[in-house]
Amino acid sequence: MERLRMAVFATGNGSNFQALVDAIQEGQLHATMELLVCDRPTAKVVERAEQAGVDTFLFHPKQYANREAYEMEILKQLEEKQIDLVVLAGYMRIITETLVTPYYGRLINIHPSLLPAFPGKDAIQQALDYGTKVTGVTVHFVDGGMDTGPIIAQRAVAIDEGVQVDDVTQSVQRIERELYPQVVQWFCEGRIQLIDRIVHINHS
């Protein structure tokens, strides 16, 4: 089986990037990590990529006229490296049609809530403020909206009474680091089919 060629977009610490790198190195993920795209060159994830020997494309968004301009540069990088799957992992920017159109169905994101509840920023704090008893993790396709794409997989995380945001965050991040490599491996094995908004996963 030919290995799936993957690029990760990240902005911050890069814990999910590291989870994917570790899964590849441990033989649990049949993919190659070809590129990190990062809009904050000082982010911790850049250091993680350098340690893992992964190529990086770093950019300052303010140096471009608009989102489409820097996404055209990113698209060139993806095409040059023949990327099969784009994985957003804490990338804090809306993706435009410049990338969504050529990569739709091959462009995924992870979000720290059970979508469609609590999209956007500070999802865990949103859940606590609302008083919900359950939150979780969602992996979904990217369609250009704010966490609106078709849902691939979800896992729930209970919110106990009196719990603090940091505690919930740790629980959510632990699930993220387990679920994201698993979903990417489903792509590697050709198990995921997207029909309209419905995602079908072959578990046989």
Question: Collapsing DSSP states into helix, strand and coil, what is residue 4?
Answer: strand
Catalytic, 60? Answer: no
Q: How far apart are CA 151 and CA 143, in angstroms?
A: 11
Q: How far apart are CA 18 and CA 117, in angstroms?
A: 27
Cα dihedral 187, 78, 140, 97, rounded to 10, equals -140
Q: How far apart are CA 157 and CA 101, in angstroms?
A: 33
Please identify which of the residues 111, 140, 200, 203 carries the catalytic annotation: 111
Q: Are 33 and 52 in contact (CB under 8 A)?
A: yes
Catalytic residue IDs: 111
